[in-house]
């Protein structure tokens, strides 16, 4: 796995989180550094999202939950599609792994997260990232995005956002289907998708176009989306070597991996 120095990084994040809880009364943002593979990634984070944002950072870049399997880990020259990019933890890591020869397409509908994602792309000189500030849905139409008090929990399903911290505001956003995006981009080496309760609907809509995807990583909330349904859908779409992974500290969050290899 490309994540490094887990124990030391967790300890550093713990103290940074405590520090941030005090600083959020004085500062709006912090820049943190995270060791990854043989480099260091930097991220501008809003202090108002502490402590949730540190759990997300641990999930993606310390525990390495999206990189558990070799076939699902981006490699040099890969084309990666990150749906639900948030402020860029996975996007920036994938951009580093694919190198200048590869490309990362990042999709994020929350305007505040998009602004931070743009900054983090610049901070890491990730010039191989292309950003789509849209919502992936099962419909091509303007949608209402329910933005949570914690920005990562934003969804076009209002009940989902309400359950995980509450709705801060509603934002109109352009919605496009996954099949539309896949036709536009072409062949995808790794598709990572985490869209707060819509995974089954989106994948089902795009089922006939999933042949364009070589490897897939789907994160779901088990109280909203059934992991078996996702596994079955991916199998029917031609994915093999399906693996279902649950982190011990987040049993409600399940990751389904699949490949065509």
In the chain, the number of structural domains is 1
**Averaged confidence pLDDT in the chain:** 89
Instruction: Answer yes or no: is 204 within a domain.
Output: yes
Note the pTM of the prediction, 2 decimals: 0.91
Instruction: Answer yes or no: is 53 within a domain.
Output: no
CB atoms within 10 A of CB 251: 9
Instruction: Answer yes or no: is 9 within a domain.
Output: no
CB atoms within 10 A of CB 167: 17
Residue 7's pLDDT band (boundaries 50, 70, 90)?
very low
Instruction: Answer yes or no: is 32 within a domain.
Output: no
Query: Which helix (DSSP H) or strand (DSSP E) does residue 124 occupy?
Result: none
Confidence (pLDDT) at 3: 74
Instruction: Answer yes or no: is 249 within a domain.
Output: yes
Q: What is the largest CA-CA distance in the chain?
A: 52
> Residues 60, 46: contact at Cβ < 8 Å?
no
Q: Which of 243, 224, 220, 209 is nearest to 71 (CA)?
A: 243
Instruction: Answer yes or no: is 134 within a domain.
Output: yes
Which token pair is 124? Answer: 């890491």
Domain span holding position 242: 64-259
Summarize pLDDT for 164-198 with one digit per residue, the tens.
Answer: 678 888 999 999 999 999 999 999 999 999 987 78
Which token pair is 8? Answer: 């030391």
Instruction: Answer yes or no: is 39 within a domain.
Output: no
Instruction: Answer yes or no: is 201 within a domain.
Output: yes
Summarize pLDDT for 59-99 with one digit per residue, the tens.
Answer: 899 889 999 999 999 999 999 999 999 999 999 999 999 99
Task: Check pLDDT > 60 for residue 100.
Answer: yes
Summarize pLDDT for 115-166 with one digit per residue, the tens.
Answer: 999 999 999 999 999 999 999 999 999 999 888 877 677 887 767 777 767 8
Q: Which of 73, 132, 69, 75 is nearest to 99 (CA)?
A: 75
CATH code for the domain of 109? 3.40.50.150
């Amino acid at each position: 796995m490309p994540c490094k120095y887990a124990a030391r990084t967790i300890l550093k994040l713990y103290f940074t989180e405590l520090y941030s809880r005090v600083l959020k009364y004085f500062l709006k943002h912090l820049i943190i550094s995270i060791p990854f593979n043989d480099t260091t990634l930097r991220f501008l984070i809003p202090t108002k999202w502490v402590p949730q944002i540190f759990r997300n950072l641990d999930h993606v870049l310390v525990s390495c939950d999206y990189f558990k399997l070799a076939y699902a880990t981006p490699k040099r020259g890969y084309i990666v599609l990150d749906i639900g990019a948030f402020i860029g933890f996975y996007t920036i890591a994938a951009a580093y792994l694919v190198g200048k020869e590869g490309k990362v397409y990042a999709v994020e509908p929350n305007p505040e997260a998009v602004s931070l994602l743009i900054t983090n792309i610049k901070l890491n000189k990730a010039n191989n990232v292309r950003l789509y500030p849209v919502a992936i849905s099962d419909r091509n139409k303007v949608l209402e995005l329910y933005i949570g008090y914690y920005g990562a929990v934003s969804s076009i399903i209002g009940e989902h956002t309400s359950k995980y911290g509450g709705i801060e505001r509603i934002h109109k956003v352009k919605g496009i289907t996954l099949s539309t995006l896949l036709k536009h981009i072409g062949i995808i080496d790794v598709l990572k998708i985490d869209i707060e309760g819509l995974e089954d609907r989106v994948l089902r809509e795009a089922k006939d176009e999933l042949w364009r995807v070589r490897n897939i990583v789907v994160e779901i909330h088990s109280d909203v989306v059934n992991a078996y349904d996702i596994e079955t859908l991916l199998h029917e779409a031609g994915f093999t070597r399906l693996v279902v992974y649950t982190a011990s500290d987040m049993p409600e969050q399940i990751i389904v991996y699949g490949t065509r290899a």
